[in-house]
Amino acid sequence: MSTPPAITARGLRKAYGEKVVLDGLDLDIPAGSIFALLGPNGAGKTTTVNILATLVGADGGSARVAGHDPAREPDAVRAAIGVTGQFSAVDGLLTGEENLALMADLHHLDRAEGRRRARTLLERFGLVEAARKPAGTYSGGMRRRLDLAMGLVGRPRVLFLDEPTTGLDPRSRRALWDMIRELAAGGVTILLTTQYLDEADQLADRIAVLDDGRIVATGTADELKSLVPGGHVRLTFPDAAGYDEAARVLTGAVRDDAALALQVAGGGSVPEIRGLLDQLDRLGLDADRLSVHTPDLDDVFLALTGRAAPAEAISR
């Protein structure tokens, strides 16, 4: 890889009492890329971000963020990073503008420069009209945008986004995705955590699947998907007789008796589907519904961990 890593971690360990939260975590994140740490609730995502962002000390291992050691040079790391937490840093009693001014103070910017950056960020994030209203009156999407803007006041080279879109409606989510892509295109290195497999797929150059404090796989979305056997076609039948007959003929199909549905392995190409329907036709059988399922990251999680991703991650 030609670009130097913006974030590295080697053997990061963290325990709270008996509970091992991080069990030897390694990361290599090239500068200017988007990296997703994907895992269910409790996997250790926030703990990882907190250690790299100097907010929590590790029990073992080492890390470098923007060329500095979070444990030994926390000030240098803090000067180079922005953090948007899972739990928003936005103060609901302050206006959007005031929240940004507060961040400018934390970064020791002079007032004129602080105001300039605040104005630019309010424009960029579509918050000009709301700038003088208390952030407590903002919608969820506006709050997240303000939170992200606050993380950018210090012009970070490395940005940590801990579950940036959890709880957002699809439109706000898409808007935030665009902003995240734009930041990466501008050269910012982004480590984002997510429970949403499609979010990692949409945004990340590389993905690490975190399960119980361990990385169980790393790769591009395509590489992860290739770990999973191909997709399947699902056929639903109107009556039990037709269903049983089809199940006898389509050998190898997986039965779902409750739904009178059969899953037939295969990629779901047009010739494959045509062949399948012709086969049923010849027997005078009719399926009343057909759907094609290409493997997604949910399947990857299942293949890697032997468990389904938690319901939250697959409900959308």
Ligand X SMILES: Nc1ncnc2c1ncn2[C@@H]1O[C@H](COP(=O)(O)OP(=O)(O)O)[C@@H](O)[C@H]1O
Name the residues that contact ligand X, by CB under 6 A: 16, 19, 21, 39, 41-47
Among 6, 14, 46, 114, binds Mg ion (CB under 5 A): 46
Nearer to ligand X, 15 or 254 (CB): 15
Nearer to ligand X, 19 or 171 (CB): 19
In whole angstroms, the minimum distance from the beta carbon of 39 to ligand X comes to: 5
Q: Report which residue type is found at 74.
A: P
In whole angstroms, the minimum distance from the beta carbon of 170 to ligand X comes to: 22
Cα angle 275, 258, 263 (rounded to 5 degrees) comes to 25
Distances in Å between the Cα of 175 and the Cα atoms of 31, 126, 171 are 24, 10, 6
Among candidate residues 144, 110, 109, the one with its CA nearest the CA of residue 130: 144
Token pair listed for 313: 């991650």
Q: Which of residues 68-107 bind Mg ion (CB under 5 A)?
A: 86
Among candidate residues 296, 294, 287, 298, the one with its CA nearest the CA of residue 261: 287
From CA 293, how far away is CA 18, in angstroms rounded? 42
Nearer to ligand X, 25 or 184 (CB): 25
Nearer to ligand X, 73 or 212 (CB): 212
In whole angstroms, the minimum distance from the beta carbon of 209 to ligand X comes to: 12
Nearer to Mg ion, 86 or 120 (CB): 86
- Secondary structure letter of residue 87 according to DSSP: S
In whole angstroms, the minimum distance from the beta carbon of 192 to ligand X comes to: 12
Token pair listed for 194: 């997510």
In whole angstroms, the minimum distance from the beta carbon of 166 to ligand X comes to: 10
